[in-house]
Structure 1
Amino acid sequence: MAILSISEAARTWRMGRTTIQRAIREGRLSAAIQSNGGKGIDTSELVRVFGEPCIDAERDAGVDAPTPPTTNDPMQADTEAPSQRDAPQAVVALQTQVRLLETQLAEAHDRELWFRRQLEEVQRLLPAPAPVPPPKPAPPRRARLWLLAALLLALLAFAGWRWRDVIHATVVRLVVG
């Protein structure tokens, strides 16, 4: 594709040179040094970053575009609104934009399908989750009572060992006495 200077690119894409220079500085747009020492930008790079150039700019650059019929009647030329003169160009520009948006939408749809397939494949490759064990059943009421009784007996036995001399003396007095 053709290599344009920053000024030519700004005219063709109808934007300021600073916008193009900022895109180069931020790394969104790549530029090369031309033989005359200026920066040159490939048109494919410009299309990638800024989209298609303006229709009017293509006509100014020499691309054959249909020209509106001219009249020699000055009255008719004055009554024709500027929007009517630009209407075919606006329609072409809008059609170009619609085609571009349809292409982008189709690409986004394809990308979404690809990501969905990737997700399904990753989910298929994952191992099945481990089954959750059922909760332990609560012990029956009777078992709880026996457990409490055993705990009480152990407590009394421990307390009794500590106070065995007192308990022994009391039992001897009661039995003997």
Structure 2
Amino acid sequence: MKALSVIELAQLYGMNRQSIYKRINKGDLSKNSDGKIDLSEAIRVFGEPSEKNNNVTTLQSSSVQKETEVDMLKQQVDILKKQLELAHDREVFQREQLEAKDNQIEAMQRLLEAPKTNMTMFTDQKSEPDIAPSIDPKVDIAVTEEKIASTPESIENPHIPGSEHIEEKPKRRGLLGRLAKAVFDN
């Protein structure tokens, strides 16, 4: 059974320590070899501890339980604070990543040029009708005839009989050159 010291027994029964020592000296109560008194021995001599004194031990045990609960709650609060900090750090990191991607997208959009309205795409090539230039009647006809006569398209080749005016063949172009010409001509 449980062994109590003289002080603990005095608190349990609400007595003075001197009263307990008197009972020990009379021989009514006996101590163990460790100097403590067995609870069964105290019950034999003093009877059951009163309800009032029992409340003291109950209050002490309930205060110990409350302290334990408070400690556990403090630990849980600390854990929750750490989790909240981690979640906040993750959120900041995700925002930074999103802003970086937005900046990359904006930079790429700035690098890309908007398609020009007069340019046609390779897949959108259509034959547009040739538009005849407007003729202004005030233009000097003599000047125009001189320009036509001086163009390199009408060259006489003395080595070929009967070729008085032979047009020069256009340059051969590669695939890329033909595509560029088709795009810029339209």
TM norm. shorter chain > 0.5: no
Give the structure with the larger helix fraction: 1
Q: Normalised by the size of structure 1, how large is the TM-score?
A: 0.32
Q: Normalised by the size of structure 2, how large is the TM-score?
A: 0.30
Larger radius of gyration: 2
